[in-house]
A and B are shown apart, each in its own frame.
Chain A
Amino acid sequence: MQPRIKYRAAKSKFAQAVIVFLAFLITLPLIAIIVYIFREGITKINWTFLTHLPKPVGESGGGIVNALIGSILIVIAASVMAVPVGILCGIFLSENRTSRLSYWSRLSVDVLQGVPSIVIGIVVYFWIVKPVGGFSAISGSVALAIMMLPILIRSTEETLKLIPFSLKEAGLALGLPYHKVILKVIVPCGMSGIISGIMLSVARIAGETAPLLFTAFGNPYLNTNLARPMQSLPLLIFNYATSPYDEWHDLAWGAALILLFTVLLLNIITKLTTRKWNVQL
Chain B
Amino acid sequence: MNELVSKKKISNSSGQIRAEALFKRVLVIIGCAMVVLVLGILLTLVIESIPSLKSLGIKYLWGKTWDPVNNVYGAFPFLLGTLLTSFLALIISIPFSFAIAIYLGEYQPQGWLSNFLKNTVELIAAVPSVIYGFWGLIVLVPMVRTLETKLGILPYGIGIFSASLVLTIMIIPYAASLGREMIRLVPSQLKEAAYSLGATRYEVIRSVVLPFTKSGLFAGILLSLGRALGETMAVTMVIGNTSLIPNSIFAPGNTMASVIANEFTEADHTVYLSALIELGLVLFLVTVVINMVGKRIIKKFTNE
Chain A residues engaging chain B, CB cutoff 8 angstroms: 8-9, 11-12, 14-16, 18-27, 29-30, 32-33, 36-37, 85, 88-89, 91-93, 95-96, 101-102, 104-105, 108-120, 122-123, 125-127, 146, 149, 153, 177-180, 182, 203-204, 206-210, 213-214, 217, 234, 237-238, 241-242, 249, 252, 256, 259-260, 263-264, 267-268, 271
Residue A88 contacts which of B26, B99, B280 (CB distance < 8 angstroms)? B26
Question: Can you sample 17 A-B contacts with CB below 8 Å?
Answer: A12-B201, A22-B100, A26-B176, A30-B127, A33-B132, A112-B38, A114-B230, A115-B288, A119-B280, A122-B48, A126-B48, A180-B16, A208-B128, A210-B261, A238-B237, A241-B134, A264-B127
Residue contact B35 to A116, C-beta cutoff 8 Å:
no
Min CB gap B70→A, angstroms: 24
Residues of chain A lying within 8 A (CB to CB) of residue B205 = 15
Is B260 an interface residue, CB under 8 A from the partner?
yes
| Distance, CA A242 to CA B134, complexed state (A) | 8
Residue B130 contacts which of A29, A115, A207, A249 (CB distance < 8 angstroms)? A207
| Distance, CA A209 to CA B232, complexed state (A) | 9
Residues of chain B lying within 8 A (CB to CB) of residue A268 = 123
Residue contact A259 to B131, C-beta cutoff 8 Å:
yes
Residue contact A214 to B128, C-beta cutoff 8 Å:
no
Residue of B nearest to A266 (CB): B126
Residue of A nearest to B176 (CB): A26
Min CB gap B303→A, angstroms: 15
| Distance, CA A118 to CA B264, complexed state (A) | 10
Residue contact A116 to B107, C-beta cutoff 8 Å:
no
Residues of chain B lying within 8 A (CB to CB) of residue A122 = 45, 48, 260, 264, 276-277, 280
Residue contact B30 to A108, C-beta cutoff 8 Å:
no
Residue A20 contacts which of B24, B103, B121, B287 (CB distance < 8 angstroms)? B103
| Distance, CA A117 to CA B129, complexed state (A) | 11
Residue contact B31 to A209, C-beta cutoff 8 Å:
no
Given contacts A111-B38, A179-B19, A241-B237, contact A16 B287 (CB under 8 A): no
| Distance, CA A210 to CA B121, complexed state (A) | 23
Is B202 an interface residue, CB under 8 A from the partner?
yes
Is B102 an interface residue, CB under 8 A from the partner?
yes
Residue contact B95 to A22, C-beta cutoff 8 Å:
yes
Residue contact A26 to B126, C-beta cutoff 8 Å:
no
Residues of chain B lying within 8 A (CB to CB) of residue A153 = 34
Interface centre among B31, B120, B226 (most CB of A within 10 A): B31
Residue A119 contacts which of B100, B127, B230 (CB distance < 8 angstroms)? B230
Residue contact A256 to B257, C-beta cutoff 8 Å:
no
Residue B290 contacts which of A89, A113, A114 (CB distance < 8 angstroms)? A114
Q: What 8 A-B pairs are tightest by C-beta distance, nearest first?
A: A207-B128, A116-B230, A114-B291, A22-B99, A179-B23, A12-B200, A12-B202, A15-B202
1/0 per residue B87-128: CB within 8 Å of A?
Answer: 000000001100110111001000000001101111110111
Given contacts A179-B20, A238-B233, contact A92 B131 (CB under 8 A): no
Residues of chain A lying within 8 A (CB to CB) of residue B58 = none
| Distance, CA A92 to CA B32, complexed state (A) | 10
Given contacts A91-B27, A114-B291, A115-B284, contact A8 B203 (CB under 8 A): yes
- Told that A95-B27, A114-B291, A125-B264 touch, could you supply 17 new A-B pairs with CB distance under 8 A? A8-B200, A19-B103, A89-B30, A101-B31, A112-B38, A114-B226, A120-B41, A122-B264, A177-B16, A177-B20, A178-B24, A209-B128, A209-B130, A241-B133, A249-B138, A259-B131, A263-B128
Is B218 an interface residue, CB under 8 A from the partner?
no
| Distance, CA A91 to CA B41, complexed state (A) | 24
Residues of chain B lying within 8 A (CB to CB) of residue A238 = 130, 133, 233, 237
Residue B120 contacts which of A30, A120, A249 (CB distance < 8 angstroms)? A30
Residue contact B32 to A101, C-beta cutoff 8 Å:
yes
Residue of B nearest to A211 (CB): B232
Min CB gap A109→B, angstroms: 6
Residue of A nearest to B264 (CB): A214
| Distance, CA A149 to CA B30, complexed state (A) | 12
| Distance, CA A30 to CA B27, complexed state (A) | 41
Min CB gap A90→B, angstroms: 10
Min CB gap A10→B, angstroms: 9
| Distance, CA A33 to CA B121, complexed state (A) | 14
| Distance, CA A122 to CA B202, complexed state (A) | 49
Min CB gap A202→B, angstroms: 11
Residue B37 contacts which of A108, A118, A178, A208 (CB distance < 8 angstroms)? A108
Interface centre among A8, A22, A112, A122 (most CB of B within 10 A): A122
Min CB gap B59→A, angstroms: 23
Residue contact A23 to B96, C-beta cutoff 8 Å:
yes
Residue of B nearest to A40 (CB): B138
Residue contact B30 to A92, C-beta cutoff 8 Å:
yes
Residue contact B130 to A237, C-beta cutoff 8 Å:
yes
Residues of chain B lying within 8 A (CB to CB) of residue A120 = 41
Residue contact B203 to A92, C-beta cutoff 8 Å:
no
Residue A25 contacts which of B23, B96, B277 (CB distance < 8 angstroms)? B96
Is B135 an interface residue, CB under 8 A from the partner?
yes
Min CB gap B251→A, angstroms: 19
Residues of chain A lying within 8 A (CB to CB) of residue B237 = 238, 241-242
Residue contact B203 to A33, C-beta cutoff 8 Å:
no
| Distance, CA A123 to CA B264, complexed state (A) | 12
Given contacts A12-B201, A238-B233, A241-B134, contact A111 B291 (CB under 8 A): yes
